Amino acid sequence: MTAPLLSVRALSKSFGGLRALDAVDLELAAGEILGVIGPNGAGKTTLFSLIAGSLQPTSGQVHFEGRPVTGRAAHRLVRGGIVRTHQIVRPFANLTVLENVTVAALHGNRRADVPARYRAPRVLDFVGLADRAGQFPGLLTLAGRKRLELARALATIPRVLLLDEVIAGVNPTEAVALAALVRRIRDELGTSIIMIEHVMPAVMSLSDRVLVLDHGRKIAQGTPAEVVRDPGVIEAYLGTSTEATAP
């Protein structure tokens, strides 16, 4: 097997006495979609913040393309090719949709061959926002803003894309469309993806492998089919059988 594109070793983060993430390992192969699920407060977003450089880990390492990148600042990781999106979308409200994407296109992967000003309209086209280029993000629907969040991340030409609940919160039709978009990002752009998602049909159908977090620990990992049968996972989501049968 070839070396993984991204590998995380014993990554931990403590906030005071609270261990938000406890010695989590993961590996992401090139072209893979890895789903991350877990109950609220399991440490999923913390994991992303540590990998993407928004937070400094308490301990552990992150290697990207075989090189250590632990604790490197977010804007430097973006240039290397790791970019994240946020669960609560954060468009630059004072810039138009196109300008939002242009800012991202200015930076990002240094190996990119297309100049920034051509890249931004193409990316908007890819995510289906081309007709909204001149509008301000405040006029977009939630699904539209999620697409913008995706476009901004894609404009940096990432190798690894960390998607924090891009599908959750939109209506079922939009959810299907966004899931299709995520698949196209992997299939057509070849981007490797780690996605946190609560919408189970989406995460189960998109992911090659799924990692389950609970209370900051990795409790299971495997194909979607394996994970849903895992007794530990069922317990984390539904509680133990005695509790489940209690009145």
Partner 1 sequence: MSAATPALVPLRVAAGFVVGVALLAVAPWILDFTPYSHNLVTLAFLLISGAVAWNWMGGFLGQVSFGHAALFGMGGFVSARLLLSGPVPAPLAWLVGGLVAGVFSLGAHPALRLRGPYFSIATIGLGESVRLIFTYWEDFTGGSSGLSLPIDPDMKHQLYWWGLGLAAIVVGMSWLMRHSTFGLQLLAIKADVDAAGDVGVSATFYQDLVFVLSGAVVGVSGGLYASYFSFIEPNDMFGFDRSIAFVLMTVIGGVGTILGPVLGAIVFVLLRQYLLASYPDLYLGLYGTLLIFIILFEPLGLAGLLGRLARLARSWRAPAAEGGTP
Instruction: Please report, as ranges, the residues that interact with partner 1 according to CB under 8 A.
Output: 52, 54, 73-76, 78-79, 83-84, 86, 90-95, 99-100, 102-104, 106-108, 116, 152-153, 155-156
> Whole-number minimum distance, CB 172 to partner 1, in Å?
28
CB atoms within 10 A of CB 90: 13
Place of tokens 């999106």: 85
Between 62 and 233, name the residue whose CB sits nearer to partner 1. Answer: 62
> Whole-number minimum distance, CB 104 to partner 1, in Å?
4
Between 44 and 86, name the residue whose CB sits nearer to partner 1. Answer: 86
26 near 34, Cβ under 8 Å? yes
Beta bridge partners of 6: 28, 64
> Whole-number minimum distance, CB 51 to partner 1, in Å?
12
Residue 47, both tokens: 């994991």
> Whole-number minimum distance, CB 212 to partner 1, in Å?
26
Between 100 and 192, name the residue whose CB sits nearer to partner 1. Answer: 100
Between 1 and 88, name the residue whose CB sits nearer to partner 1. Answer: 88
> Whole-number minimum distance, CB 92 to partner 1, in Å?
4
> Whole-number minimum distance, CB 162 to partner 1, in Å?
10
Q: Distance between CA 113 and CA 109 in Å, rounded?
A: 9
Q: What is the per-residue burial (b if ≥16 Cβ within 10 Å, else e) of 105-127?
A: bebbbeeeeeebeebbeebbebb
Between 75 and 229, name the residue whose CB sits nearer to partner 1. Answer: 75
Q: Distance between CA 12 and CA 89 in Å, rounded?
A: 26
Characterize the bridge pairing of strands 59-64 and 6-15.
Answer: antiparallel
Between 86 and 218, name the residue whose CB sits nearer to partner 1. Answer: 86
Q: Distance between CA 224 and CA 108 in Å, rounded?
A: 32
Between 175 and 185, name the residue whose CB sits nearer to partner 1. Answer: 185
- 50: buried, middle or exposed (CB in 10 Å: 19+, 13-18, 0-12)? buried
Beta bridge partners of 35: 195, 210
> Whole-number minimum distance, CB 209 to partner 1, in Å?
25
- 240: buried, middle or exposed (CB in 10 Å: 19+, 13-18, 0-12)? exposed
